[in-house]
Structure 1
C-alpha cells in the first residue's frame, strides 16, 4: 500500500509539474506580449505639461502674447502631486522625491492693452478666452507629456531612460489687424471719458474700410491676462460681442432704407410732429425741437435726431420692406469677426412685431444689435453700399514660414445702392456740420456721423429704465475717400446723457490721431 501511495503522489506531482510548466509556457512564451503590455499600462504614468504656443502679434509688430520657459516641481512618492508650477528659476535645493521639469508659461507683455481681444490661457496653456480661445487650434503645439514608470506601490522609477518627453510640434503665430498705437489711443480716450462721466463702462471699435480689419477694439473696465483670476470674469470678454439697443444711431439705417426703396427722396418733406400715435402708443421726441415750419427735410430730421420723423419713414416703408432692408445691412446675423461668444442680435420677424414696433424700430428701440453689426452696417456707406465683414486676424503663419493663411476684404452683400450710400454720406456730414454731431469735427477732414442716446433696458423685465442711458456716436472719415469707421459707446454716463457730449469727443480725438498716424491725406475743411 505504501508503494502505491508513493507512486500516486509521484504521479500527481508529475502531473502538477506538467500543468505548471504548460501554464508558464503559455504566460511566458505564448502570451508574453499581452502580459508585458498589461504590466506597462499598470506601471506607466502620463503627466500633462504646458507646452509652447505660437505668438499673438499686432499688425505693427508688437508682441501681445508669447511663451517663456519655466520650471515646475512635482513629487514622485506615492500619488502624483504638483508642488509648484511655472517658476522663473529652478529650485536651489532638490529634496528627495522631488522632480523638476521644464514647462512653458504664457505671458502678456502689454498687460491690459487689448486684453479682451488677446484673452488668456489656463494652467496647461489651453486657450480660455479671446483670440487664445478662438484660434486655439492654430496657436497650440502638440500636447506635451512626460511618461514615467512606477513600482507596484506607486513610487516612480527615477532612471533617466524611463522618462520621455513626447515630441512637440510648434504652434502657429497669429498676426492681428489690431494696431498697437491706435489701440492705445482708443483705450486712453475711452478710459478718460468713463472717468469724466462716472459711467459704468465703455466700448469703442474702429475698422479700416480698406479691408475690414479691426484697428482697435476696447472695452473698459478690462483685466490683466497675466493675473486674470484676480479680476471680475465679466471683464474677460469684449462687449463688442454683446447686444444693446442702438437708439438714434439706427436712424441712419431707417433713412437709408427709405431712400433706397424710393419711399422717400433726398428732397422729401416730413411733417413736423411733437408726437405721433402708432398702435395706441404715443411716441414723442427725446428733446425740444425748434421747428422751422410745418414740414422738415430728411437732413433736418437727422441733424436734430427727430423720432417722429423717422417713424413716418418706417411706416411709409411698411413692415416687410423695412424688415428686409434691416436684414440686408446684416442685422440679426453674427458678423464672425473673430471672437467666440458673439451674439446674433435680436431682430424679430415682421410677422411677430407688435403694431408700435415699426415706429419704435425706426429710432433704434425694439431691436438689439452688437457694436460690430452697427459698425459694418454704417461702414457700408463708405464702401458704396457694400457691407464689409469685420475681422480681427490678419494672418496665420507657421514659424518656419512654410504655411501662411491671410485674410483679406470679404463682403456680406449689398445694403443699399451706390447712389443711396453717397446720399447717406452727405446727410451724415450735415449732422456733424449743423446738427448733434458738432463735437466730432476734425480739422482738415470731412467727417460724417450720428449720435445716439438710448434708454437702457432692465435685465429680466425688458422694461426701459428711468434715468439710465447708453450714449453713443458712430462716424466715418474722411468722406471723400472713406478710410475709417468708428463707434464709441458710453454706458450710463452721469452729468450728460447725450452722445454728442460724451461719445462724439472720443470719436473726434481717436479718429483724428489715427488718420494722421496712418498718413491719410486731408480732404478739405
Structure 2
C-alpha cells in the first residue's frame, strides 16, 4: 500500500503548506515585538521609575516616625525665661522582644499610672513598634530603666516647660503634646516658634519586623525664633500675688489686673484669676485658660465716668467748675429712677467725679448729647478691637447713638448699657495718662532668630489724638481728687506719690433683662505718679462677697501692685522721707563705727533702718545679704529715703535713696 504525503494533494502542495511561512513570520514577529516591549519596560523600570520605586521600597522597608519638634523660647522683656523646650524621653516597646507581657504591663502600670489593660493591649499587638508613654519625667524614666526589661526603649523628644507655672499663663498660653501652640502667645506666634518636626527612621525586614532603629538619625531643622514679651516678670509676680490675695479675701468669682506703660502701650503684666498651670493645662477647665482681659466684656460702671468727663471737656460742653443739682440721691429720668449711694445737692463737675454721682453723670451726658458722646467714646477705642493681636480678642459693644433712648444715654453716662473689655479700658485710660494719645497695646517687644539676631522690634503705634493735652491735664487734676482723703478712691493712696484714679461699682446685667440686685463688678483704675505716670493699672473683681464697692475692694489691690511695681522700677517718689533737718549734710554728721546700721530680718521680710547720714558704701554694707536692692540719686550722704525707716520690704524689694554732697 502506497504512503501518501500529507502536505501534497493530487501532486500539488496543500493549502496548509502554503501558509506555513506566513505563520512562522507572524510568530517570530510577535516574539520579537514582545522582547522589544520587555526591553523597553525594563529600561523604564531601571532608569525612569527608579525614584518612584525606591520610594515604594522605602515605604515597605522603612517607616518614618514624627517626633515632637523643638520650639523657640519665650522671654520677658528682661530676658527671663517664660517658656522653653526641654529634652525628655519617650517610652516605646517592641512587643516581639518582650517575653512576659503581662508581668511587664503590671510593672509599667504602677510606674506610669496607666491602666494595666491599656498597656497589655499595646503589648499584644502584632507590631514591632508601639508608643507606651511619651514625654516622661526624668524620675519616671529612671524607674522604667531600673526594670531592665528587654524590648523597652527610649527616644529623646522635646517637652514645653513653663518655669513660672501659673504666673503669666493666660498671656503666654501653652503648647500641646505635639508642640503646637493652643492658647495665648504660643498660639498667635506658633509659626515663628515651632521648628520643622524631627523624624525617626525605622528599618524593617521582609516580614515588616523592626531590624534597626536609628535614634540619632534626625532630619536637620531650619531653626526657630525666640520671642521677648513686653511683660516684666517681676511686675507680673506682684500683680498675680496681689490679685490672688484680693480674690481670696473677697471670696470673689474671678479677678483681673493689667499693668501698662501709658507712654508706649506695653503690657507689663496681665493677671487673671482663677489661674491654671500650663505645664498641666488638661487638668483645668477650658474656661480657666481664657484670658478675660482680652476675651471677656463687662459693663464698666463708674470707671466709665472718666471718659464721660473727657468727652464733656473735649467737646467744650462743660467746665470743671460748672455745677449740677444731684437731686439728693434720687432722680426720675426717662421713666426710671437713678440712685446715688450718698445724697448730694449741688456739685461741681469735679465733685461729681470725685464722689461718683450717677445723677450728676446722667445730667452731664444729657448736656453733651448722644452724637458727641458716641463719637468720643468710639475715638477712645470702645466698640472695636484694640489690635493687640491676642487670639480671640473681643470688640465689645457700643450701640449706634440713633438707637439711644433718653434712659440709654443716662445709663451709658455712668457705665451701664455698654460692653467693654479690660484691655480697651486700660488702653483708653492710658490715653488720658499720656496727654491724649491712643496707642495700640504691645504684647511682644521683639522677635529674634536662633542666633539672637533681631527680626522685628515693636515701636509705639499712635492711632490718633483723642483729647487735647489741656483736657488730659484737667481730667488728671480731677482724678487726683478721687484719691484724696475724702474721695471714693482714698484706699489707693501711696505714701510719697500722687495717684490719679477712678473707682467703679457696676451691677451685673441679668440674661432675662435688668440687673442683679446682689451681683457686682468692682473696679479701680489709676496711674502713678499722677503728673508723670510710669504705670497705669486696672483691677477688676467679679462678684465679691460682702463689701462690693470698687473703692473698698479693688483700690487696695491697685495700691499693692502700684507700690511694689514703683519700687521695682526705681521710680523716685514725689515726696521723699527726709531726715529731721532738710539741709545739706555737713562733715559734722558722724556715723557710729561701733554700732553700724543693720537691716533687721523678720521672717521673709526686712525692716528698713534709718539710712540718714550714711554714704552709699555704708548703705550697701547695711543691706548686704538681705536681698534688697538700692536705687540712688546724687552723691555724698543720705538725706532722704523711700520707704521710710521701720517699713517692711520683701526680699528683692527696692530702697530708693537721695544723697547730698559734703560742704
TM-score by length of 1: 0.91
Give the C-alpha shift of residue 409 in structure 1.
1.7
- Which residue number corresponds to residue 81 of structure 2? 63
Q: Is 2:225 the partner of 1:207?
A: no
Q: Secondary structure at the match of 1:301?
A: helix
Q: Pick closer, same or farther for the CA change 1:8–1:106 going to 2, 3 Å.
A: farther
| Aligned twin of 1:120 | 174
How far has the Cα of 1:288 moved from its partner?
2.6
Contact 2:88-2:135 at 8 Å conserved across structures: yes
State the partner residue of 2:69. Answer: 51
Matches within 5 A, 1:274-353: 274-280=329-335, 282-289=336-343, 291=344, 293=345, 295-353=346-404
SS state at 1:109 partner:
coil
Q: Cα offset for 1:149? A: 5.5
Q: 2:629 is matched with which residue? A: none
Cα distance in 1 for partners of 2:163, 2:223 equals 21
Structure 1 spans left out of the alignment, 5+ residues = none
Return the offset for 1:20: 5.5
Secondary structure at 1:165's aligned position in 2?
A: coil
1:34 paired residue among 49, 62, 74: 49
User: Do the aligned residues in 1 keep the contact of 2:65 with 2:199 (CA within 8 Å)?
Assistant: yes
Q: Rg larger in 1 or in 2?
A: 2
Instruction: Determine which of 241, 245, 253 is the counterpart of 1:192.
Output: 245
* 2:499 equivalent to 1:447: yes
Cα offset for 1:152?
7.1
2:155 to 95, 101, 118: 101
| TM-score scaled by length of structure 2 | 0.73
Higher relative contact order (Cα pairs below 8 Å, separated by 6+ residues) = 1
CA contact (8 A) 2:202 2:213 kept: no
1:27 positional shift: 3.5
Q: CA deviation at 1:389?
A: 2.0
Q: Secondary structure at the match of 2:49?
A: helix
Deviation at 1:80, TM superposition (A): 6.2
Partner of 1:222: 275
Structure 2 Cα separation of the partners of residues 8 and 470 of structure 1: 105
Q: Specify the alignment match of 1:402 in structure 2.
A: 453
Residue 86 in structure 1 maps to residue 135 in structure 2: yes
Deviates more, 1:310-319 or 1:41-50: 41-50
3-state SS, counterpart of residue 316 of structure 1: helix
For the residues of structure 2 that align with 1:7 and 1:111, how far apart are their CA atoms?
93
Return 419-428 or 235-244, whichever deviates more.
Answer: 235-244
Match of 1:437 in 2: 489
The 3 A distance-change label for structure 1 pair 142 and 29 is: same
Structure 1 residues 214-273: Cα deviation after superposition (integer angstroms, max 9, x where no partner): 111100111111111001111112110111110000000111101110110111111222
CA separation in 1, counterparts of 2:454 and 2:438?
29
**For the residues of structure 1 that align with 2:213 and 2:501, how far apart are their CA atoms?**
71
SS of the equivalent of 2:241 reads helix
Distance 1:418 1:100, change over 3 A: same
SS in 1 for 2:386: coil
Are positions 1:245 and 2:296 aligned together?
A: no
Change (3 A) 1:285 1:153: farther
1:260 aligns with 2:314: yes
Q: Aligned-pair distance for 1:397? A: 0.9
DSSP-derived class of the 1:374 partner: helix
Count of paired positions = 518
Structure 1 residues 80 and 20: alpha-carbon distance in aligned structure 2, compared to 1, 3 A threshold: farther
